[in-house]
Amino acid sequence: MPQFKHPPLGIPTDSAKRWTENYQLTTQGSGRLFLMAGDQKVEHLNDDFVGGQVAADDADPEHLFRIASAAPVGCFAAQMGLISHYGMDYPEVPYLLKLNSKTHLVKTAQRDPASLQWQSMAQVRDFVRHSGLKIVGVGYTIYPGSLYEPEMLSEAARIIQDAHAMGLLAVIWAYPRGQAVGDKEQDPHMIAGASGLVACLGADFAKVNPPLDAQGNMDARLLGEAVAAAGRTQVICAGGSETDSESFLQRLHAQIHIGGTQGCATGRNVHQRSQPDAVHFCQAIHALVVKNQSVEEAAKLLGEAS
Residue 175 annotated in active site: yes
- 237 touches 210 (CB < 8 A): yes
Q: At what angle do helices 121-131 and 149-165 cross, to 10 degrees?
A: 40
Q: Name the β-bridge partners of 95.
A: 76, 135
As a whole number of angstroms, the distance between CA 235 and CA 33 comes to 9
Residue 17 annotated in active site: no
Going by the DSSP 8-state scheme, the letter that residue 57 receives in this structure is G
> The dihedral of CA 142, 144, 146, 151: what is its sign?
positive
| 64-78 as b/e: b if 16+ CB within 10 A | bbbbbbbbbbbbbbb
As a whole number of angstroms, the distance between CA 49 and CA 150 comes to 33
Task: Give Cα separations from 83 to 11, 59, 95, 219, 274 (angstroms).
Answer: 27, 17, 8, 36, 21
DSSP state string for 59-125: GSTHHHHHHHHHS--SEEEEEHHHHHHHGGG-TTSEEEEE-B---SSS-TTTS-----BSS-HHHHH
**Which residue in the list 41, 90, 140, 207 is annotated as catalytic?**
207
**Which residue in the list 175, 184, 291, 300 is annotated as catalytic?**
175
Residues near 153 by beta carbon (within 8 Å), at least 6 away in sequence: 142, 197, 201
Containing 190, the helix (H) or strand (E) segment is helix 188-201
Burial of 114: CB neighbours in 10 Å, binned 0-12, 13-18, 19+ = middle
Q: Name the β-bridge partners of 135.
A: 95
Could you list the active site residues? Answer: 175, 207
